[in-house]
A and B are shown apart, each in its own frame.
Chain A
């Protein structure tokens, strides 16, 4: 199994809603990532978890709250988002978070904030 699975594929939410994005991998990877991507732009790193501990937070607003319940799962909790937060949210994983290894990306959640 070489997949990173993200749910839901599409999400529409209002600015007062609370929702969560989910990501799962069963490759035994110990590093997991959240990226935000606007259309036809490169992904922007948001968070990195390494061995289930948050290792990088790229100064992301607190309305985004990551969680890593175990080594296979990664969540992104959303609250009081703004319309400019509408984007494709990508989850990725890699073996251990070191330099030369490849990242496996999920297909993403397309988020629209109304």
Chain B
């Protein structure tokens, strides 16, 4: 079945450091890919998405590119802030519908 694998956390960075959170997927066909973020005490918010190969999603300084050849959708940000501290979930969903498949989540902690 479809699955999503993320790098394990927690990830601890200093403010202004470069962030990469790795995400790879397995799926039949070409799913849509998402990054969701969950701040403490809140629900999930969509951070960015890409619906086909080579698409780049971007939002709030975060970027991720849909790489079909490596089945990856790594999240990057050039300079993290303390306010970026949260849990980040990579997810996939077949374009015909069905379940949103989540990775295990990566907790990010940014220190001043």
Interface size class of A (residues with CB under 8 A): 20 to 34
List, in ascending order, chain B residues with CB within 8 A of A41's CB.
104-105
List, in ascending order, chain A residues with CB within 8 A of B42's CB.
107-108
Q: What number of residue pairs across chains A and B have CB atoms under 8 A from each other?
A: 55
- Over the window 75-102 of chain A, the binary record of Cβ atoms lying under 8 Å from chain B Cβ atoms (1 yes, 0 no) is 0000000000000001010000111101
The one of A90, A100, A104, A107 in contact with B95, judged by C-beta atoms closer than 8 angstroms, is: A100
Interface size class of B (residues with CB under 8 A): 20 to 34
Contact B99 A105 (CB under 8 A): no
How far is it, in angstroms, between the C-alpha of A54 and the C-alpha of B27 when the chains are bound? Answer: 25
The one of B41, B87, B96 in contact with A99, judged by C-beta atoms closer than 8 angstroms, is: B96
For chain A, what secondary structure do more than half of its interface residues adopt (helix, strand, loop), or is it mixed?
A: loop
Contact A90 B43 (CB under 8 A): yes
The one of A42, A102, A103, A108 in contact with B105, judged by C-beta atoms closer than 8 angstroms, is: A42
Contact of A43 with B by CB under 8 A? yes
Contact A98 B99 (CB under 8 A): no
Contact of A13 with B by CB under 8 A? no
**How distant is B100 from chain A, measured CB to nearest CB, in Å?**
6
The residue of chain A having its C-beta at the shortest distance from the C-beta of B32 within the complex is: A100
Task: Give the 6 A-B residue pairs with the shortest CB-CB distance, closest first.
Answer: A42-B102, A99-B95, A105-B43, A100-B32, A105-B44, A100-B51
Question: Which residues from chain A sit less than 8 Å from chain B, CB to CB?
Answer: 4, 6, 40-43, 45, 56, 90, 92, 97-100, 102-108
